[in-house]
């Protein structure tokens, strides 16, 4: 019975469609496109759905919303469609998906369903061609939404699509490593040069104390999700890390891991190329949000040590004014000063932009000026130390693919308390990576001769001592201001090229 009813139903509709097709043919001949457009309007009027077209080109220019929809649908929603187009734009490192023409993609927003369709249609163009797309080929996305949901949903849904597309774009784009161009100034628009950032270091490959690693990851996540907290607390949305420790303990690797973890660009500031506080400020203004600003080996690129000593020396040179900085007044302001650097880290200028991590690294924390270290200046002081057993396990897995070996217990005993850097351990293992047992035996031999970490101690930052230096903390916002007192002359300890403090930069390997 039901089968017969269903047959009747379909027969009726087939007949209706036939009749409609017949009239359409006749009327189209008589009235041309007018009939089609009338039919389309009538069908749309009676349909429970509203349709929103998003053409690729509108007028002379491209349509930004079309691009957002394209990116949005290139995410998992589109790959769920049965029929997708797979593309990889030139020079990009990721594939993108888009629904094939006429394929319907369903999406759900706040529990309500909407549908997307992409269509490519031919339209004869009479005007000038503004794009690479052939003149007569037009593309559009059509959003189908229930009429009853339209007013309530359309605006917020489109906003959701735009936000999601922006974040997809951000995540999928290749990240950049910037370095400052020598002598940038107000007249030069570009102060940074960029290359693609492809460093393979991640928190998984980083050999260090697992608890500290987890702690740093959580700290970073909390930071990225902390927009409201920073706003509520009236603090700029930025975080400062000081990474310190002997050479080859993973400070630079940690910076790369942080950038990879957060998907941020890196601005690697070569401070010796910066000639004044105003240039430093200019560089800062030109950094983008969601970035890591790095000053490596700050003890080498800046003579920030022992302000008191600098003051005494300068006073000796110019006892009458107490200003003797070994330079003429004309020279004043042509160099980066400590106060300029402090202003960069947490003065008023540090708040331009947001979601920024500032990282300083040093091998000699004991040489840094206390003002740079005092509580609150850098949010975290992270000691990257000698290679201990858990770090060794990570290196063995990274370099030899070993999760376990019978020599591990012996290595655990031998490595305890030894001053050997992860870089050295890594190199030793890599040398014999084809023969893991030989690599581990070689390491054991070296560990037998390695000095004890007590003999080569890593200076830990003494927070109690730093509290005392609060008393001599400088007024950040006074940076760059001409100073006249003997005391302030000390604050302006100069930042000179690395050779200025008489110590060449150590590079890789352990110190001897
Ligand atoms: N903690 C670590 N985890 C994994 N690999 C490390 C680690 N430390 C060092 N290495 C290896 O040693 C190499 C040098 O490390 P890195 O440049 O990060 O050290 P650094 O602390 O920045 O040294 P420097 O103080 O000389 O700049 C890296 O390429 C990496 O392969
Ligand atoms: Mg380094």
Mean predicted confidence (pLDDT) in 257-266: 94
* 176-385+464-501 has CATH 3.40.50.300 classification: yes
pLDDT higher than 50, residue 491: no
Residue with the smallest CA separation from ligand 1 atom 26 is 247
Asked whether the beta carbons of 71 and 165 are under 8 A apart, the reply is yes
**Which atom in ligand 1 lies closest to the alpha carbon of residue 363?**
25
Q: Which residues contact 291 (CB under 8 A, 6 or more apart)?
A: 264, 265, 266, 267, 353, 355, 356, 357
pLDDT of residue 186: 53
Calculate mean pLDDT across residues 328-335: 44
Q: What is the pLDDT of residues 192-206, one digit of tens each?
A: 999 999 899 999 999
pLDDT of residue 394: 96
Residue 292: the pLDDT is 95
What number is the average pLDDT over the span 20-44?
66
- Phi/psi at 190 (nearest 5 deg)? -105, 120
Residue 132 has what pLDDT? 52
pLDDT digits (tens, 9 = 90+) for 99-112: 777 788 889 999 99
CB 428 within 8 A of CB 439: yes
Which one has a higher pLDDT value, 96 or 499? 96
The HSE-up count of residue 41 (CA atoms within 13 Å, CB side) is 6
**Lowest mean pLDDT across 225-234, 281-290, 423-432, 482-491:** 482-491
How far, in Å, is the centroid of ligand 1 from the Cα of 287? 26
Q: What is the pLDDT of residue 329?
A: 35
3-state secondary structure 155-212: HHHHHHHHHHHHHHHHHHCCCEEEEECCCCCCCCCCCEEEEECCCCCCCCCCCCCHHH
DSSP 392-410: HHHHHHHHH--S--TTHHH
Q: What is the pLDDT of residue 67?
A: 86
Residue 133 has pLDDT above 60, yes or no: no
The ligand 1 site (C-beta within 6 Å) comprises 205-208, 247-253, 363, 384, 422-423, 426, 507-508
Q: For 455-483, what is each residue's pLDDT tens digit?
A: 887 777 765 565 544 333 333 333 333 33
- pLDDT number for residue 497: 34
Predicted local confidence at residue 360, as pLDDT: 94
Q: Using the mean position of ligand 2's atoms as its centre, give its distance from the Cα of residue 243 in Å.
A: 10
- List C-alpha distances in Å: 201 to 178, 258, 294, 496: 18, 9, 16, 31
ipTM above 0.85, yes or no: yes
Q: Which of 21-35, 356-370, 485-499 has the lowest mean pLDDT?
A: 485-499
The helix, strand and coil proportions of the chain, stated in percent and rounded to the nearest 5, come to 45, 15, 35
**In the predicted model, is pLDDT for residue 440 greater than 90?**
yes
pLDDT band of residue 253 (cuts 50, 70, 90) is very high
Domain positions in the chain are 24-172, 176-385+464-501, 389-449
Do 305 and 299 contact (CB within 8 A), yes or no?
yes
Please determine, for residue 188, whether its predicted confidence score (pLDDT) is greater than 60: no
Q: What is the pTM of this model?
A: 0.67
Query: How far, in Å, is the centroid of ligand 1 from the Cα of 364?
Result: 16
How many other CB atoms are found less than 10 A from the CB of residue 340?
A: 24
- Which atom of ligand 1 sits closest to the CA of residue 507? 26
Residue 350 pLDDT exceeds 70: no
* Mean pLDDT of the 385-403 span: 95
Residue 35: predicted pLDDT: 65
């Amino acid at each position: 019975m039901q089968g017969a009813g269903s047959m009747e139903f379909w027969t009726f509709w087939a007949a209706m469609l036939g009749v409609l097709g017949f009239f359409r043919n006749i009327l189209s001949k008589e009235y041309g496109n007018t009939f089609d457009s009338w039919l389309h309007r009538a069908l749309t009027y009676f349909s429970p759905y509203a349709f929103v077209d998003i053409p690729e080109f509108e007028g002379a220019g491209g349509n930004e919303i079309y691009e957002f929809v394209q990116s949005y649908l290139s995410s998992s929603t589109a790959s769920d469609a049965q029929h997708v187009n797979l593309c990889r734009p030139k020079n990009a490192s990721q594939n993108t998906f888009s629904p094939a023409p006429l394929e319907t993609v369903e999406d759900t927003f706040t529990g309500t369903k909407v549908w997307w369709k992409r269509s490519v249609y031919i339209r004869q163009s009479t005007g000038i061609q503004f794009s690479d797309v052939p003149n007569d080929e037009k593309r559009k996305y059509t959003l189908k939404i229930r009429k009853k949901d339209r007013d309530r949903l359309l605006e917020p849904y489109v906003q959701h699509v735009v936000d999601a597309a922006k974040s997809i774009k951000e995540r999928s784009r290749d990240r950049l490593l910037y370095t400052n161009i020598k002598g940038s100034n107000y007249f030069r628009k570009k102060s940074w040069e960029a290359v693609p950032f492809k460093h393979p270091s991640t928190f998984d490959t980083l050999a260090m104390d697992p608890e500290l690693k987890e702690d740093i990851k959580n700290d970073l996540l909390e930071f990225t999700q902390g927009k409201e907290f920073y706003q509520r607390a009236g603090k700029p949305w930025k975080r400062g890390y000081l990474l310190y420790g002997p050479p080859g303990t993973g400070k630079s690797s940690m910076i790369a891991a942080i950038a990879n973890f957060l998907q941020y660009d890196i601005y690697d500031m070569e401070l010796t190329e910066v000639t004044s506080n105003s240039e430093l400020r200019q560089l800062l203004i030109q950094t983008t949000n969601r970035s890591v600003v790095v000053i490596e080996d700050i003890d080498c690129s800046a003579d920030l040590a022992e302000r008191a000593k600098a003051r005494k020396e300068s006073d000796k040179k110019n006892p009458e004014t107490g200003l003797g900085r070994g330079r003429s007044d004309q020279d004043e302001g042509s160099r980066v000063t400590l106060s300029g650097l402090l202003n960069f880290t947490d003065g008023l200028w540090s708040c331009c932009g947001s979601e920024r991590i500032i990282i300083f690294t040093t091998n000699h924390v004991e040489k840094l000026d206390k003002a740079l270290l005092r509580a609150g200046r850098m949010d975290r002081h992270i000691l990257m130390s000698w290679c201990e057993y858990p770090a060794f396990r990570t290196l063995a897995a990274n370099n030899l693919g070993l999760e376990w070996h019978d020599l591990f217990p012996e290595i655990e005993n031998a490595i305890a308390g030894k001053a050997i850097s992860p870089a050295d351990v890594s190199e030793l293992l890599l040398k014999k990576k084809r023969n893991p047992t030989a690599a581990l035996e070689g390491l054991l031999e070296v560990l037998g001769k390695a000095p004890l970490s007590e003999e080569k101690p890593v200076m830990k930052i003494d927070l109690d001592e730093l509290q005392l230096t609060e008393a001599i903390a400088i007024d950040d916002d006074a940076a760059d201001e001409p100073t006249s007192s003997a005391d302030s002359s000390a604050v302006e300890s100069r930042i000179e090229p690395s050779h200025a403090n008489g110590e060449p930069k150590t590079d890789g390997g352990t110190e001897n």
